[in-house]
Structure 1
Amino acid sequence: MLKELRHYSNFGTPNYFFELLTTLKNKQNVSYLRSDIEKLFYNKIIDGRSVFDGCLELALKIDILQTSDNIVTINEGISNSLNSVNQMIDKFNEFLFLALKKDEEFHKIFCSEHLSHDIIYKSLQINNAAFGLKHSNLKQLLIDFRTIMNHPTPEINYFIINTRYKKLFDKTVLPEIKKRKIGIEEFRKSMELQQIYGEEAERFVMDYETKRLNNKKEIDWVAEYIVNEGYDVASYDNENDDIPNRFIEVKSYDGDTPYFFWSRNEYLTAKRKQQEYWIYLVNRKEMNNKNYEPIMKQNPYESILKDDIWEKLVDKYKIELINVNP
């Protein structure tokens, strides 16, 4: 869809669509052709814009408008959400995300590579560079419809995804992101038991942290969206803490002896965060027991790597040729 719409300059604003949709709703006895809709906005300026070249095409692509015999009609699914601009924005975003959730171009933008977790604002954020020039029209649409917002810190070149639409994002887009975030080959591997075990352990830790903090904090399951953050869960040391300060990498194991594999990225994140970084080791055989508690190691860069009770084995080496002058 986005590939087909790439050459349009303007996808429209909430005020444009509110005027268009209310017109079609209030004049259902009138047959509007595509050309008639274009004439509705001829010589008009809405939100500082006078070119509306991609608006009708977008509306048809996301199904808020439908066409038969070149006659354009409003979808009843949005017709009942026109009591206010804000109500229309919410419904519009539902249609938009449903249309985009399978779009290949969209997932090149909203992928694990471009997403990250904002600790201060407890939100998912996306790099501005993810859109590039070719998708600047989509970026502007998402800004206009409040799906993404400028980061409160101006010098940070990121947008924050509006928490108002987090549930919608989780329902429509997240399942596809989870499939694609580690690539096709890795996704095949993710179907194996190890990936299933990992997600079960992460869910266990999410529940465990919620209970530990007396259900007073909203815990962020970062690994749902992002594969390279260096931790899986952003939690809190205490229920009175304002910002996340316990970053948990979840590892599951089976048997009597705890063990885990640690990536270079996780190791470097632990080294950087020090006391704020934790590893939770979850025994798969025990985690369904009511009073089971995982092994929790704070600052594993010190408490594990420098403790001789933990045996460390090198799983692989990176071998690289260095430039040597003859």
Structure 2
Amino acid sequence: MLDGLKNLRTPGNKDGFLFLLENVIADKMLSYEDVKILCTHAPAECHILLPEMIQYCSAFGWIHTENNMISVNSDVINLNGDNNALNGQLVQSTLKVLFELGHFHPGMFSFDTISHRIMFHNELLPLNYSAIRNTLIDLGFFDVVHSIQGTTFLVAEVFEKALSKVCEQEKRKITLEQLKKKLERDAEVGEKAEKFVLVFEKERIGDPLSENIKIISDIDVTAGYDIVSYESSTSYKHDRFIEVKAVSHDTDFFWSRNEYEIAKLKGNSYYLYLVDIRKIEENGYAPTIINNPAEVIMESSEWMVESQSYHIRRISNVDR
């Protein structure tokens, strides 16, 4: 989307952008030729390079161009007449696009303990996008500080909240994407382990009962176990309830509260099958089987049970 801005020398200056959006196009729909003519009446302080400026405004969604006709985006035109608000909108929309496209990311910003300001790591921005950085400077987003140590780019305090907002949204998006990928990987591995145990159990019990050994976790997600099986080939009903845990390296796993409560209720009929994903292709591999884990694990010194989080609830409002 911003490829057309690579190596752009300059799209113009702040006064030029505001004049184009507020005074030239404003609430009208104009042809490029009409815009070009009207721009000839711009004040001297407006540095308008029309083709570059139109390209820049279009890239960040400030204007719409279609069939050689140009109009201003509603988010921009609604602020017409308030230069500060309009300038702020241009900065915010620029940040939104830069973060969405990955040209900016939270790692490019840090808090400078000397100036007590947010600092931008300019060296992380590709050189061919310097026109965007320079425009942000002109719009007042960056304060540039020159010193013996070099040039520092500081975020103007008035825009710190806007930056914090887009950074937070980006981090949340990344976190959700990472979580989604992890859940997809976990689901894939878990399904593989369950299918392995299903085959293992069918072979252990044999016909005719093997046909009734089933994976039920896809249907009943609250059951507290994944597979219904039999204690032996002489069983007349399902009497082995199996929770499958895929493990690798260390034999650690997560056991939900619901699974634990069901294990306590089922007692000796409940089993944990720990399946080492690395070994399921090996001939003769058998999972680690733990019968009545609510007692064996919780009351054994061989296992360490750790709380990963705590639910905190106030039970009294007594003054201290």
TM-score (norm 1): 0.49
Between structure 1 and structure 2, the one with the greater Rg is: 2
TM-score (norm 2): 0.49
Larger proportion of helix: 2
